[in-house]
Structure 1
Amino acid sequence: MTHQRPTPDEQLLKSPDGEFQSDAWRVFRIMGEFVEGFEALASLGPAVTVFGSARTKPGQPHYEQAVAIGRLLGEAGYTIITGGGPGIMEAANKGAHEAGATSVGLNIDLPFEQHLNPYVDISMEFRYFFARKTMLVKYSQAIVVLPGGFGTMDELFESLTLIQTGKIHNYPVVLFDSSYWSGLLDWLKQTMSAEGKIAAEDLDLLYVTDSPEEACKHVHDCLTKAADRERQEAEAFETTRKVMSRQ
């Protein structure tokens, strides 16, 4: 087997070897990735992140469905953010490109699978997974998750944890393809929830659909309602402030 050079993530996670310790210096590289991401993505506007397998091929149903999702969301005015690679990521970026919407790809340095797809307008190359995952969530207002592997599960459950713990709010999570997710959803309900590891209402964080149109409508409806609520709260606060200032 050909030896691959260690990625920055591998180097960071490796146990200290002897007296040499460079972890403290890596903080500057990590900080640089966060600063670069904040500067590049701060003015995106409304955006949706699409997750899914890098191994899905053009012409396969999930690929074409991801193209449709990216296109519909793009036509509705949303920037599309993905991990920038092939498969579902490429498909969603392609859909955004077809709609004339901004298409963002946040790529990762890997020894296999990952290369930047050709449908990206704004791209970044990350060395560290945790910096990349922060950007994938921080600058989006919703996620749509298509079938994928360990990386997709990681991104899904990190997002759910952030919602559950109140770190992010009004953040729709759409699972696409009910047959793919049915086993996981059964386990979440019958094992995790039944044993009290999560609350029953935590399952309501997930919206499952087989329709690109329904996926996009759910995202748009949720975000529109959230924006209306925030506007009403801001107006109520301003009214109260004016009343108090007259007293």
Structure 2
Amino acid sequence: MLNERERYMQGPVLRAGEQVPDTTTDQRLLDSQGSASWLHTDPWRVLRIQSEFVEGFGTLAELGPAVAVFGSARTSSDDPSYAAAEQLGRRLAETGLAVITGGGPGIMEAANKGAAEAGGVSVGLGIELPFESGLNRHVNLGINFRYFFARKTMFVKYAQGFVVMPGGFGTLDELFEALTLVQTQKVTSFPVVLFGSSYWQGLLDWFRDTALRHGSVAQRDLDLLQLTDDLDEAVALVAAGRSGG
């Protein structure tokens, strides 16, 4: 143990008297018998979060023009929405756009499959979940995240448009995150296309008949959303967003 009367330099910090530590910084670093509880502290989580942003930015920085496709993980391969998402991914890739999904099954898998089979860049941004295991096999550029907010940042930063297929809470969360960021001018406006009028029309009706009348949203907010049942139109809308047209 160091003498309490000694003056002790701990890196750039001077410690003396009772402030002198019992061990050196290197000794604590190299002590394999120490507690591992630090793995579950907030400072360590901050480093993990930082690493996810660094990995995401480093991986996607040179991706080029891309469109995010959102939709339900529960959609089966024999569902018409699956076939539509596959065709959408294919047509986006043929237009020269990378396709970004959440990397899971269902709609995400279908869009990734279409893009990959068309020779395009098929991106999966996965998330650690108790009921999903890894990225679907059609992803050819993928990152798996621990934290939703880091993953969401990658969608918004690297996609020039969103196509939202039928989906549940996760899809709605991603949709409203994008709309909120555009509405509050936190990001440059980009196309948000809802695909499937039979699925989305009720939501748009509620916005118009309830939220708009209540004053909770403005007409310009509703104008951020574009509804279509036509794949060519969906592709044209997001492709126009890429060129600013």
Tell me the distance in 2 between the aligned counterparts of 1:170 and 1:73: 20
Give yes or no for contact 2:65–2:242 (8 Å, CA) kept in 1. no
Match 2:235 to one of 216, 225, 228: 216
Is 1:48 aligned to residue 48 of structure 2? no
2:98 match: 79
Q: Distance in 2 between matches of 1:169 and 1:47?
A: 15
Deviations 1:113-156 (A, max 9, x none): 35311111111110011111111111110000000000000000
Aligned residues: 207
Higher relative CO (Cα under 8 Å, sequence separation at least 6) belongs to 1
Distance apart, 1:192 and its partner CA: 1.3
Specify the alignment match of 2:136 in structure 1. 117
Separation in 2, partners of 1:23, 1:170: 34
Report the counterpart of residue 53 of structure 2 in structure 1.
Answer: 34
Structure 2 length-normalised TM: 0.82
Partner-residue secondary structure (3-state), 1:106: strand
Q: Which runs of 4+ in 1 moved over 4 A?
A: none
Structure 1 residue 91 corresponds to structure 2 residue 110: yes
1:65 matched residue in structure 2: 84
Partners of 2:144 and 2:238 in 1: CA distance: 28
Cα deviation, 1:30-68, whole Å, max 9, x if unaligned, reads: 111011100000000000000000000112100000001
RMSD of aligned Cα (Å): 1.4
Alpha-carbon distance between aligned partners in 2 of 1:72 and 1:199, rounded to the nearest angstrom: 33
What is the distance in 2 between the residues matched to 1:190 and 1:77? 39
Gap regions ≥5 residues in structure 2: 1-39
Counterpart among 124, 127, 138 of residue 105 in structure 1? 124
Matched with 1:197 is 216
Question: Contact between 1:107 and 1:114, CA under 8 Å: does it hold in 2?
Answer: no
Q: Is the 2:115–2:121 contact (alpha carbons within 8 Å) kept by the matching residues of 1?
A: yes
Tell me by how many angstroms 1:85 deviates: 0.6
CA distance in 2, matches of 1:93, 1:62: 14
- Structure with bigger helix share is 1
Corresponding position of 2:150: 131
Distance 1:107 1:170 in 2: 25
Displacement of 1:223: 2.6
CA distance in 2 between partners of 1:114 and 1:199 (Å): 40
Any gaps of 5 or more consecutive residues in structure 1? 1-20, 227-247
**SS at the partner of 2:81?**
helix
Pairing 1:135-150 to 2, within 5 Å after superposition: 135-150=154-169
Query: Is the contact made by 2:161 and 2:241 (CA closer than 8 Å) also made in structure 1?
Result: no
Q: In terms of Rg, which structure is larger?
A: 2
Indicate if the aligned counterparts of 1:54 and 1:113 stay in contact, CA closer than 8 A: no
